[in-house]
Amino acid sequence: MKIYNKKGLVIGLLWTAAGAFCLYRDAADAHAFLPQQIKSVVLSLIMLAIGLTCLVRAFSRRAAREDRIEELDERSCLVRLKTSSLTLRVTGYIRLAAMVLGLLAYAFTENLVFGCLFLFAGLEITLEAVVSAAAAVHYEKRV
């Protein structure tokens, strides 16, 4: 058999391994609460189905061609870029709000937990700014 989509093969192997492991854990360590056990088995089977589907598509020439066309489609690329951009902006605002709320809560309560919230949110925002600047410099040179 020839592998036509290596990335799909790796993703399929990971999903299949994760689903098989979860299914094994569900069988080996059964929950006493039946609805929890049913939910775990169903999620494990869904993971297995996703993995096996990706594996089958990795070995199919037609499916690999369809995946490649879909991946290179301009509309799909635009949607992916806009989704990533919006996600980054929204999470940035959430981190900024968490930082401000952590600072205000620490100022009023002097509880160290709120100070850590401010510190870690600030570190994330700083790291994002550094990575953004490095990416801008990189793409200014390349494009």
Q: What secondary structure does DSSP assign to 87-136, as a single string?
A: HHHHHHHHHHHHHHHHHHHHHHH--HHHHHHHHHHHHHHHHHHHHHHHHH
Q: What is the mean pLDDT of the chain?
A: 89
Q: Does one domain contain both 60 and 120? A: no
CA distance 140 to 122: 27
Tens-digit pLDDT profile for residues 79-123? 888 998 899 899 989 988 988 988 899 899 988 888 888 888 889
Q: Does one domain contain both 96 and 85? A: yes
* Structural domain total, the chain: 2
Measured on CA atoms in the order 131, 133, 135, 141, is the torsion positive or negative? Answer: negative
CA-wise closest residue to 123 among 99, 97, 91: 99
Q: Which of 38, 72, 106 is the last residue of a domain?
A: 72
Does the pLDDT of residue 138 top 80, yes or no?
yes
Q: Is residue 84 part of a domain?
A: yes
Identify the burial level of 44 via C-beta atoms within 10 angstroms of its C-beta, where 0-12 means exposed, 13-18 middle and 19 or more buried. Answer: buried
Instruction: Tell me the residue range of the domain where 64 lies.
Output: 6-72
> Identity (one letter) of the amino acid at 6?
K
pTM metric for this prediction: 0.60
Q: Does one domain contain both 95 and 132? A: yes
> Identity (one letter) of the amino acid at 133?
A
